[in-house]
Amino acid sequence: MTLEQVFSASGTLAMIGWVVLIFAPRRWAWLNLVPQIVVPLALSVLYAGFILAYFADSGGGYGSLAEVRQLFSLDELLLAGWIHYLAFDLMVGGFLAGRMDRIGIQRIVQAPILFATFMFGPVGVLLAFGTEAVVRVATPRFAKA
Amino acid sequence: MTSTDLSTARAPSARLSLVLTGLSVGILVVSLAANTVDPRLLDGAPVWAKPVKFALSFVVLFATVAWLETRLSPRWRDGIVLTATLALMGTSLVAEMAYMMFQAAQGEPSHFNLSTPFHTFMYTVVMFVGALVLVVGIGIFGVVAACDRDARLEPGLRLGVVLGFGLSLVLTVIVAGYMGGQAGHHVGTPSADAGTLPLVGWSTEVGDLRPAHFLSLHAMQVLPLFGWLLDRRMPGHARKGIVLIAVIYCVATFAVFAGAVAGRPLIGM
C-alpha cells in the first residue's frame, strides 16, 4: 500500500464516521459506536504505527515551529499528522453531538456545527459551546417566564 | 458511558429561538477570532468586519425573538406557524453567515459581488432569499404578537412589538431593497483614505445606505423598549405614545435614508 492509498483509505474511513454522526438516527447504540469509538480507534492504530515508526527518522520534535516543520518534512509523518486530525476531530464531533443531544439541540442545527467540526475542528467546538452556553443559561429563565 | 452516549437521555427540544441565539454567539466568537488575526482589508475595512457585525446583529435579533416567545401563549409559541418560521429563519442564518465567512476568508466581497455566475447566484438568489425570509419571519412574529390574545404583553409593550417588528419588515424591505438595486452601499466614491465612523465603519465622507438599514432593522428592539417604558411611566397613554414614537422613528429612518441617497454622510467630518 502506498502512502497515498493509506491517506485515501483513512479519509474514507473518517468520512463514514462523519456521515453516520451527522445524518444517521441516534436511537441505536451500536450505530453510535461507529463514529464515537470504532472509526477513531482504527485511525488511532494507524497513527500509532506511523508516528512510532518514523518519529526518530525525521530528526524533528515538538520544541519549535522549525522542529515541527522538520517532523512534517517526512511524508510518513505528514500522513500521521493528518490521521491524527481525522481521529481526534471525529471523536470531538461525537463528544459534541452527545452534549448537544442532552440539552435538546435540534439535529438540523447540529448538522452545520458538526460540519464545521469536520472541516475545521476547533471552529465547530466554539460554535457548539457558544450554542450550549446560551441554551443552558437562558432555558431556566424561559421555563420560569 | 456518560458523556458520549448519544442514545439515552433524550432531552425535550431546546427552544429553537434560544438555540439560534447561541449559534449566533458561536459565530460571533469565531468571526472575532479571525478578525484579530487577519490583517487583510477589503474596501478599507478589515475583511472580517462584516461577519462580526452580522453575527452581532443576529445575536440581538434571535435574542429579541426568544424574549418575545417567553411572553406568547404556549398555543402560539409551540404552534406550527412559529416553529416553521424559526426553522426557515435558522436556515437563512446559516446560509447567510456561511457565505459571508467563506467570502471573508477569500478576501472577497459577499454583497454586491457579481464577478462570476457563482457569486451572482449567491448574492442575488441565496443571500436575497435569506434576507427576505429573515425580515418576513420578523413580520410574522409581529402579527402573532397582535393575534395572540393570551400573550403576556401589556398594551404599550404589545403595540411596541407589533409596530416595531412590522416596521423592521417594511422599512428594511424599502431600504435594503433600494440598496440591493445599487452597485454598493456607498452613494458617491469615498477617497482612498476616507474617514469612517468607529466600530460601524459608516462613511463620514459620502452617502452611506447602511445607517438607514441599521435603523430599519432595529425598530424591533427600539419600539418594544419604549412600549415597556411607557407602560410603566404613562399607563393609559402608552398606546398613543408608541404610535407617536413609531411615526418619529419612521421619519428619522427616512431622513437618514434620504440623506444617504442624496450622497450626504450621516455624520460628516
Query: Which of A95, A104, A138 is facing B12, going by the closest CB pair?
Result: A104
Question: What sign does the dihedral A23-A24-A25-A27 (CA atoms) show?
Answer: negative
The CA distance from B78 to B122, in Å, is: 33
Query: Which of A126, A142, A145 is facing B29, going by the closest CB pair?
Result: A126
B208 CA: distance to closest CA in chain A (Å) = 32
Asked if the Cβ–Cβ distance from B70 to A141 is below 8 Å, we say yes
Instruction: Tell me which of A32, A96, A134 to substitute to probe the interface with B (most B C-beta atoms closer than 10 Å).
Output: A134
Residues of B in contact with A117 (CB under 8 A): none
Burial class (CB in 10 A: 0-12, 13-18, 19+), A55: middle
In the predicted structure, residue B192 carries a pLDDT above the cut 80: no
3-class SS of residue B14: coil
Asked if the Cβ–Cβ distance from B4 to A112 is below 8 Å, we say no
CB of A23 within 8 Å of a chain B CB? The answer is: no
What integer best gives the mean pLDDT of chain B? 92
Instruction: Tell me which of A91, A109, A117, A136 to substitute to probe the interface with B (most B C-beta atoms closer than 10 Å).
Output: A109
CB of A106 within 8 Å of a chain B CB? The answer is: yes
CB B227 within 8 A of CB B156: yes
Query: What global pTM score does this model have?
Result: 0.92
- pLDDT tens for B110-132 read 999 999 999 999 998 999 999 99
Confidence of residue B2 (pLDDT cuts 50, 70, 90): very low
Cα end-to-end distance, chain A, whole Å: 62
Confidence at residue B4, expressed as pLDDT on a 0 to 100 scale: 52
Instruction: Tell me which of B1, B5, B7, B25 to substitute to probe the interface with A (most A C-beta atoms closer than 10 Å).
Output: B7
Confidence at residue B205, expressed as pLDDT on a 0 to 100 scale: 84
Query: Which of A98, A102, A133 is facing B22, going by the closest CB pair?
Result: A133
Residues of B in contact with A131 (CB under 8 A): 19, 22-23, 25-26
- pLDDT tens for A66-78 read 999 999 999 999 9
In the predicted structure, residue A142 carries a pLDDT above the cut 80: no
CB of A101 within 8 Å of a chain B CB? The answer is: yes
Asked if the Cβ–Cβ distance from B19 to A141 is below 8 Å, we say no
Out of A3-12, B5-14, B31-40, B84-93, least confident range = B5-14
DSSP H or E stretch at residue B41: strand B41-42
Query: Which of B66, B71, B94 is facing A138, going by the closest CB pair?
Result: B66
CB atoms within 10 A of CB A143: 9
- pLDDT tens for A30-49 read 999 999 999 999 999 999 99
- What's the mean pLDDT in A95-108? 95
CB of A131 within 8 Å of a chain B CB? The answer is: yes
The CA distance from B226 to B95, in Å, is: 33
- What's the mean pLDDT in B68-72? 96
The CA distance from B14 to A25, in Å, is: 18
CB of A107 within 8 Å of a chain B CB? The answer is: no
Confidence at residue B131, expressed as pLDDT on a 0 to 100 scale: 95
The CA distance from B195 to B246, in Å, is: 32
Range of the domain at A135: 3-144
Confidence at residue B1, expressed as pLDDT on a 0 to 100 scale: 42
Residues 6+ apart with CB under 8 A from A83: A10, A43, A46, A47, A50
* Percentage of residues in chain B having pLDDT higher than 70: 95
Q: What is the ipTM of this complex?
A: 0.90
Confidence at residue B6, expressed as pLDDT on a 0 to 100 scale: 61
In the predicted structure, residue A141 carries a pLDDT above the cut 90: no
Instruction: Considering only residues B179 and B205, tell me which one the structure prediction assigns the higher pLDDT.
Output: B179
Residues in chain A: 145
State the cell numbers at A47. Answer: 497513527
Confidence at residue B80, expressed as pLDDT on a 0 to 100 scale: 95
In the predicted structure, residue B64 carries a pLDDT above the cut 70: yes
Asked if the Cβ–Cβ distance from B14 to A133 is below 8 Å, we say no
In the predicted structure, residue B71 carries a pLDDT above the cut 70: yes
In the predicted structure, residue B11 carries a pLDDT above the cut 90: no
Instruction: Domain count for chain A, please give it.
Output: 1
